[in-house]
A and B are shown apart, each in its own frame.
Chain A
Amino acid sequence: MSEFVISTRYANALLQTAEENNSFEEALKSIELVYNTLASSDELKSILNSYLISTSKKENILEAIFFGKVSSEVKNFLKLIAIRGRANLLFEICERFIQLSDEKLNRIKVQISSAVELSENQKEDIVKKLEKITNKKIVASYKVDKSIIGGFTARYKDTVIDASVKHQLELLKKKLFEEKYLSN
């Protein structure tokens, strides 16, 4: 069975439990914490991936790190994952949980890259426009990328809205080359 399917199952399980117990917000915050911790620590990831370390040890490690910092449900969830031998998929499970929560809250994470720092007004405008296009709540993250020369690109899920000068130049180049071929 693919990792995707397994992660989805676990994430869904936690999601449904949290909803039933009305503790969805805390669950999400806790999982985000776990996700960020794992993302920043390669050591932790490799320990959880390792077959040499027993499940009880992994359980203890997780407990020690996250004691008091996560909701009780998530604590039990982590225990469950360790016992079931799926600690190697913890990162994917958290990732999937966050994705499913976004869907539930009708949220989309958008990565906006611009050539120069955008003003608050500009940021607001872009977010408003995106909200209209996607019909969802936008959670925007901003990045300055000089290589796009001018304009901005907004990437969410699999779609890119490209209003950068770099892309326009590429299209121009393509069109000129086309003309060269076609003008025979």
Chain B
Amino acid sequence: MAEVKPDEVSAILRKQLAGFENKIDVYDVGTVLSVGDGIAQVYGLSQVMASELVEFPNNIIGMVLNLDEDSVGCVLFGDSSLIKEGDTVKRTKRVASIPVGEQFLGRVVTPLGIPVDGKGAIQSSQYLPIERKALGVVARQPVTEPLQTGITAVDAMIPIGRGQRELIIGDRQTGKTAVAVDTIINQKYTHSEEAKAEGIEPVYCVYVAVGQKNSTVVQVVSKLEEHGALDYTTVVVAAASDPAPLQYIAPYAGATFAEYFRDNGKHALVVYDDLSKQAVAYRELSLLLRRPPGREAYPGDIFYLHSRLLERASKLSDDLGGGSLTALPIIETQQGDVSAYIPTNVISITDGQIYLEPDLFNAGVRPAINVGISVSRVGGNAQIKAMKKVAGSLKLDLAQYRELAAFAKFGSDLDQATQKTLAKGERLVELLKQGQYAPVPVERQVVAIFAATKGFMENINVKDIKRFEKELLEYIDLSKPELFDTIRKEKVLSDETIEAINSIVSEFQNKFKKS
């Protein structure tokens, strides 16, 4: 067993103490007037700035939110039972800021940057403020690069671009987190060498868990790790047991972590899961701070709460490095009511929504996306040309199917054309079903949709569609893998490529064994 020599110990201590300067400290203080419910009223602190971090005894940090004439209202990021009236409060002269950097990738942290995954401390030299003003118009450029989610329904009809805000909205248990997690897992490809060769830049992800059960967060983290996605992801946790102020700042902290990448010319994706819980936490804070309640008891600035958060998602101009920050906020609706206060607010802020419906979910359509009312305002600008070509007819076919879906129960009493549309629509819906944690690369999506929309699946039973797709793609992998490479590299469907796809799919069609 190794021994620690005494002089080694003193040498280490001397080294650590060497950098320590002995100087007089000047700091500003205040006294706690009252404390309770996570709020402390402090007398004094006359020089304190709004949103500044202050230090309470027992290492509890608080943030100054209310600057009144004779007292200061602070929210506590810790247990308020450890603080008593008369305690001294010190200014830290630091407006709420957190450490950022690449060291946070692969880690699970609190909104203040403290790791909670037990993998050791994180050293960081750069601090960025949690609240930052979003960039102006001149600093941005339009969104043109795609952010591939790996979910066929989304990438085809509700495409997301890098720098866009796309809202994922739905009732509880409809698969909102699943869509977000699948998107994160699909970014693994962007970190590979092949992607680099094709000019695709890596996307760093931040997953912000607000007000969720700790067990749920652990599940998400382990799934991310299992699929190798944790290496480029930071997880920010403010669970349901954490005080409301932490839940309030968690999304801002997540945006700050992601902005580090955006401002350095890289690309980032941030998922806010979910903003409804952040709104509730902010409501709790505001009511305790005696701010006047508005509609549904939410404070008057609840819109500003979300708008300033989401405005930070942007595509920077080339002068500033061309980085981007894409945001996927999640909102939970009650009983499908999208005209409630918070959902309408966030819908008006984001560049599109993905609606998930419980009826579809229960009917087995998963992801339960209602394609009819989901929209992406960036649309085709964020798709590769190949996908744009095939997705156009997909959207149209599905729209026609939805129109006629009500007549489906009349079965054979309908005319030929209607029956054909219905049949095609059913097969398309079946094609768009996808398993969880199984994102599909864009070139395979293109081929699958091409096969479906050009009528190659007409004579296949609906229940065989997924098997057909799977075996078709495997067949191409075995006999003509360069087809996928071509689509991926060229990003367009040239006439030759279309010819090639046509021939290979017909070939496969003859070989397919129906059940």
Stretch at the interface among A28-36, A50-58, A138-146, A176-184: A176-184
The answer to the question of B16 belonging to the interface, with a C-beta cut-off of 8 Å to chain A, is yes
- B203 to A: closest C-beta gap in Å: 27
Residues on A with beta carbons closer than 8 Å to the beta carbon of B29: 155, 158-160
The answer to the question of A79 belonging to the interface, with a C-beta cut-off of 8 Å to chain B, is no
Q: When the two chains form the complex, which single residue of A157, A158, A171, A176 contacts B25, counting CB atoms closer than 8 Å?
A: A171
Residues on A with beta carbons closer than 8 Å to the beta carbon of B28: 158-160
Q: Is the interface of B mostly helix, strand, loop or mixed?
A: loop
Bound complex: CA A5 to CA B68 (Å): 11
Residue of B19, B25, B29 with most partner-chain A CB within 10 A: B25
Count of residues in A whose CB is under 8 Å from the partner chain:
21
Is there contact, CB below 8 Å, between B47 and A158? yes
Residues A1-40 near B (CB distance < 8 A): 2, 4-5
The answer to the question of B26 belonging to the interface, with a C-beta cut-off of 8 Å to chain A, is yes
Q: When the two chains form the complex, which single residue of A5, A158, A184 contacts B121, counting CB atoms closer than 8 Å?
A: A184
The answer to the question of B30 belonging to the interface, with a C-beta cut-off of 8 Å to chain A, is yes
Bound complex: CA A158 to CA B27 (Å): 9
Output the nearest chain A residue to B21 by Cβ-Cβ distance.
A171
Q: When the two chains form the complex, which single residue of B27, B70, B120 contacts A160, counting CB atoms closer than 8 Å?
A: B27
Is there contact, CB below 8 Å, between B22 and A168? yes
Residues on A with beta carbons closer than 8 Å to the beta carbon of B17: 172
- A152 to B: closest C-beta gap in Å: 10
The answer to the question of B24 belonging to the interface, with a C-beta cut-off of 8 Å to chain A, is yes
The answer to the question of B44 belonging to the interface, with a C-beta cut-off of 8 Å to chain A, is yes
Bound complex: CA A163 to CA B27 (Å): 11
Residues B15-53 near A (CB distance < 8 A): 16-17, 19-20, 22, 24-30, 44-47
Residues on B with beta carbons closer than 8 Å to the beta carbon of A160: 26-29
Residues B325-367 near A (CB distance < 8 A): none
Is there contact, CB below 8 Å, between A162 and B69? no
Residues A131-159 near B (CB distance < 8 A): 155, 157-159
Is there contact, CB below 8 Å, between B20 and A167? no
- B282 to A: closest C-beta gap in Å: 25
Bound complex: CA A158 to CA B20 (Å): 27
Bound complex: CA A4 to CA B30 (Å): 17
The answer to the question of B412 belonging to the interface, with a C-beta cut-off of 8 Å to chain A, is no
Residues on A with beta carbons closer than 8 Å to the beta carbon of B10: none
Residues on B with beta carbons closer than 8 Å to the beta carbon of A181: 121
- B174 to A: closest C-beta gap in Å: 41
- A132 to B: closest C-beta gap in Å: 14
Residues on B with beta carbons closer than 8 Å to the beta carbon of A168: 22
Bound complex: CA A116 to CA B16 (Å): 31
Residues on A with beta carbons closer than 8 Å to the beta carbon of B120: 184
Residues on A with beta carbons closer than 8 Å to the beta carbon of B70: 2, 4
The answer to the question of B81 belonging to the interface, with a C-beta cut-off of 8 Å to chain A, is no
- B73 to A: closest C-beta gap in Å: 13
Is there contact, CB below 8 Å, between A162 and B25? yes
Residues on B with beta carbons closer than 8 Å to the beta carbon of A163: 24-25
Residues on B with beta carbons closer than 8 Å to the beta carbon of A5: 69
The answer to the question of B123 belonging to the interface, with a C-beta cut-off of 8 Å to chain A, is yes
- A184 to B: closest C-beta gap in Å: 4
Is there contact, CB below 8 Å, between B46 and A162? no
The answer to the question of A175 belonging to the interface, with a C-beta cut-off of 8 Å to chain B, is yes
Residue of A158, A163, A182, A184 with most partner-chain B CB within 10 A: A158
Q: When the two chains form the complex, which single residue of A159, A161, A175 contacts B24, counting CB atoms closer than 8 Å?
A: A161
Q: When the two chains form the complex, which single residue of B20, B27, B123 contacts A175, counting CB atoms closer than 8 Å?
A: B20
- A98 to B: closest C-beta gap in Å: 16
Is there contact, CB below 8 Å, between B45 and A162? no
- B5 to A: closest C-beta gap in Å: 19
Bound complex: CA A179 to CA B19 (Å): 11
- B347 to A: closest C-beta gap in Å: 41
- A109 to B: closest C-beta gap in Å: 14
Bound complex: CA A10 to CA B123 (Å): 54
Output the nearest chain B residue to A163 by Cβ-Cβ distance.
B24
Is there contact, CB below 8 Å, between A4 and B121? no
Is there contact, CB below 8 Å, between A172 and B20? yes
Is there contact, CB below 8 Å, between B24 and A158? no
- B229 to A: closest C-beta gap in Å: 23
Output the nearest chain A residue to B47 by Cβ-Cβ distance.
A158
Is there contact, CB below 8 Å, between A158 and B22? no
- B30 to A: closest C-beta gap in Å: 6
Given contacts A2-B69, A182-B121, contact A157 B46 (CB under 8 A): yes
Residues on A with beta carbons closer than 8 Å to the beta carbon of B69: 2, 4-5
- 1/0 per residue, CB under 8 A from A, across B451-481: the answer is 0000000000000000000000000000000
Residue of B16, B24, B45, B123 with most partner-chain A CB within 10 A: B24
A–B Cβ pairs within 8 angstroms, 12 of them: A155-B29, A158-B28, A160-B26, A160-B27, A160-B28, A162-B25, A163-B25, A171-B20, A171-B25, A175-B16, A175-B20, A182-B123
Nearest 9 pairs of A and B residues by beta carbon: A184-B120, A181-B121, A4-B70, A158-B44, A163-B24, A162-B25, A182-B123, A158-B46, A184-B121
Chain A residues with a Cβ under 8 A of chain B: 2, 4-5, 155, 157-163, 167-168, 171-172, 175-176, 179, 181-182, 184
- With A5-B69, A184-B121 already in contact, 11 other A-B pairs whose C-beta atoms are closer than 8 Å: A2-B69, A155-B29, A157-B44, A158-B30, A160-B29, A162-B24, A163-B24, A168-B22, A172-B20, A176-B16, A184-B120
